[in-house]
């Protein structure tokens, strides 16, 4: 029997209907209060999952009568959707919130709202309440679907609102969405994380792993494809832990079978449940990009154990070799943490050698950042910052060689590319099938359409090409 219960954690339709009623009420109240439509400035930090949440919050704000502005200076409402994954991400938010104070002094009616992963941490919520009294609304990650209700309370009672319930997490369907792009769509397939990697805050702030139903996902993909979207990115902390009525490979096959010309991307994949069947599926699905983002974090078995990653170096390499054999054009990218507590110079060398052996097209490198409440935060860490920076730079240097080599190998080849934006007058950018960025001459009206691009040269690892 399947353990999957599609109704567990699902926000009931009656609650969604109640929020729609609040949105209508807020619209009426704001209509009476503002001569023009009220303007919201929404800024999202962090991962694509958070960006996707931000698009749903914008959808709810629009339903509440807001239009959007791209600066806090003339905003009536500022909403920061925050990230907690590294200290640096958090410091930026504190800095940016502090910078709103003088603006609010001039525009006294301006409301400031904070949500997302950062505020879900009790010590951060406490600091915000204590040291940032000019913030009007704070809400956690498990109640984002209740934004209309919070705005109603804020505008109608004038009181400050703070709602950060602890929860295993919910799934809210049928939330209005205001997508940032007209041709690239984020589609979340699962939320939360159960892995508790020892360095990571995500499981504490995002709740337990939970999957949307296959039908809900397919409905959303069909509707964005019908609306002309050309790139669908399936999102989850670990997309291959997806547990709906199908597994992730099965879901990919269903999405691939939806008629239309569109690309399928997905992230992030966890090596511990990236199966050979999934790799075979990617190979067999013509709409799925030849790209796998498969974070290995460290090349040392001891560090991987300390990180609680549930795979070792040999398993990772064997998986990657299988993927390379099965999908000849595959490009691989990864995340790496440098300077995990207790990482020795030799252990770091194992990270270098793993990166060298695999040959990634690009790497996202992070210096370890202790997160309060995680297991690693209490591990002794004697390596000084300067040494961590040296390790970071040596990995960066090695990676530059691989990126350059891979870029070089693409010169002369032709790829089907989705034109993503006009970079400067008459120059468009897009990505090759393996996700390498490429720029090429083209008119702005091609943005959002597919073209065939022949790669003509590279500068560093930046590809240049021409439409053929």
Q: Is there binding between residue 237 and ligand SF4 (CB under 6 A)?
A: yes
Using CB under 6 A, which of the segments 104-112, 190-198, 218-226, 414-422 binds ligand SF4?
190-198
Cβ at position 275, least distance to ligand SAH in Å: 16
- Rounded Cα distance between 389 and 108, Å, is 44
Among the listed ranges 9-17, 200-208, 378-386, 422-430, the one in contact with ligand SF4 (CB under 6 A) is: 200-208
* CB-closest chain residue to ligand F3S: 46
Residues 6+ apart with CB under 8 A from 250: none
- For residues 51 and 36, what is the distance between their CA atoms, to the nearest angstrom? 27
Judge whether 377 and 371 are in contact, CB under 8 Å. Answer: yes
Considering only the stretches 43-51, 310-318, 350-358, 417-425, report the one whose residues sit in contact with ligand F3S under the rule CB under 6 A: 43-51
- β-pairing verdict for 331-338 and 291-293: parallel
Among residue numbers 68 through 107, which ones bind ligand F3S (CB under 6 A)? 83-85
CB 377 within 8 A of CB 123: no
User: At which residue do the structure tokens 């089907």 appear?
Assistant: 416
Q: Which two tokens stand for residue 175?
A: 């939330």
Q: In angstroms, rounded to a whole number, what is the distance separating the alpha carbons of residues 25 and 300?
A: 57
Letters for 49-68 (x = contact with ligand F3S by CB under 6 A, - = none) are xx------------------
List contacts with ligand SAH (CB under 6 A).
85-86, 199-200, 202, 237-238, 268, 270, 295, 297, 335, 337, 366, 368-369, 371
The rounded distance, in Å, linking the Cα atoms of 161 and 131 is 16
Distances (CA, A) of 150 to 17, 64, 114: 15, 11, 12
Regarding 169 and contact with ligand SF4 (CB under 6 A), the answer is: no
Task: Choose, by CB under 6 A, the member of 10, 47, 258, 283 that binds ligand F3S.
Answer: 47
Binding flags for ligand SF4, 258-277, as an x/- string (CB under 6 A): ------------x-------
Counting contacts by CB under 6 A, is residue 46 touching ligand F3S?
A: yes
Q: Print the binding letters for residues 279-318 with ligand SF4: x by CB under 6 A, - otherwise.
A: ----------------------------------------
For the bound state, the minimum distance from the C-beta of residue 292 to ligand SAH, rounded and expressed in Å, comes to: 12
Residue with tokens 């400031």: 112
Quickly list H helices, 257-344. Answer: 276-284, 301-307, 313-326
Taking the least distance from each CB to ligand SF4, the nearer of 200 and 417 is 200
Q: Quote the least distance from Cβ 89 to ligand F3S, whole Å.
A: 7
Distance of CA 236 to the CA centre of its chain: 8
Q: Is residue 429 close enough to count as binding ligand SF4 by CB under 6 A?
A: no
200 is a contact residue toward ligand SF4 (CB under 6 A): yes
CB of 206 to ligand SAH, least distance (A): 10
**Identity of the residue, 394 or 414, whose beta carbon is nearer to ligand SAH in the bound complex:** 394
DSSP output for 370-418: --TTSSGGGS---S-HHHHHHHHHHHHHHHHHHHHHHHHHHTT-EEEEE
Structural contact between residues 445 and 419, judged by C-beta atoms closer than 8 angstroms: no
User: Residue 202, interface with ligand F3S (CB under 6 A)?
Assistant: yes
**98-157: which residues touch ligand SF4 (CB under 6 A)?**
none
3-state secondary structure of 420: coil
Contact between 370 and ligand SF4 by CB under 6 A: the answer reads no
Residues within the interface to ligand SF4 (CB under 6 A)? 193, 195-197, 200, 202-203, 237-238, 270
């Amino acid at each position: 029997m399947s353990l999957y219960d599609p109704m567990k954690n699902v926000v009931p339709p009656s609650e969604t209907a109640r929020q729609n009623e609040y949105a209508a009420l807020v619209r009426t109240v704001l209509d009476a209060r503002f001569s023009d439509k009220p303007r919201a400035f929404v800024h999202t930090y962090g991962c694509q999952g958070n960006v996707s949440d931000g698009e749903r919050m914008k959808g709810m704000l629009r339903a509440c009568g807001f239009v959007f502005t791209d600066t806090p200076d003339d905003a009536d409402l500022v909403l920061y959707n925050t990230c907690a994954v590294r200290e640096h991400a958090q410091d930026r938010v504190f800095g940016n919130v502090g910078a709103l104070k003088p603006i609010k002094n001039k525009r006294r009616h301006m409301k400031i709202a904070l949500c997302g992963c950062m505020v879900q941490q009790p010590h951060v919520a406490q600091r915000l309440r204590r040291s940032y009294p000019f913030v009007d609304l704070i809400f956690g990650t498990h109640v984002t679907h209740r934004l209309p209700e919070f705005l109603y309370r804020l505008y109608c009672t004038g009181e400050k609102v703070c709602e950060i319930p602890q929860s295993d997490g919910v799934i809210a369907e049928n939330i209005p969405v205001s997508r940032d792009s007209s041709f690239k769509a984020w589609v979340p397939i699962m939320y939360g994380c159960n892995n508790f990697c020892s360095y990571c805050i995500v499981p504490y702030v995002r709740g337990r792993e939970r999957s949307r139903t296959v039908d809900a996902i397919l409905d959303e993909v069909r509707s964005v494809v019908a609306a002309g979207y050309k790139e669908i990115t399936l999102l989850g902390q670990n997309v291959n832990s997806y547990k709906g009525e199908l597994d992730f490979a099965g879901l990919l096959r269903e999405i691939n079978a939806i008629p239309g010309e569109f690309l399928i991307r997905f992230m992030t994949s966890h090596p511990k449940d990236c199966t050979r069947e999934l790799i075979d599926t990617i190979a067999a699905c013509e709409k799925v990009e030849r790209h796998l983002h498969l974070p290995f974090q460290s090349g040392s078995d001891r560090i991987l154990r300390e990180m609680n990653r549930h795979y070792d170096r040999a398993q990772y390499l064997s998986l990657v070799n299988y993927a390379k054999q099965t999908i000849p054009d595959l490009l691989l990218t990864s995340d790496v943490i440098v300077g995990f507590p207790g990482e020795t110079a030799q252990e770091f060398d194992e990270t270098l050698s793993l990166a060298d052996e695999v040959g990634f097209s690009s790497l996202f490198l992070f210096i370890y950042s202790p997160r309060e409440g995680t297991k690693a935060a209490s591990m002794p860490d004697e390596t000084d910052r300067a040494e961590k920076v040296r390790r970071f730079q040596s990995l960066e240097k090695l990676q530059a060689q691989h990126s350059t080599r891979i870029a070089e190998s693409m010169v002369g080849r032709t790829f089907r590319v989705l034109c993503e934006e006009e970079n400067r007058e008459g120059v468009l950018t897009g990505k090759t099938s393996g996700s390498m960025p490429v720029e090429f001459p083209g008119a702005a009206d091609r943005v959002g359409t597919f073209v065939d691009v022949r790669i003509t040269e590279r500068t560093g690892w930046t590809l240049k090409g021409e439409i053929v």
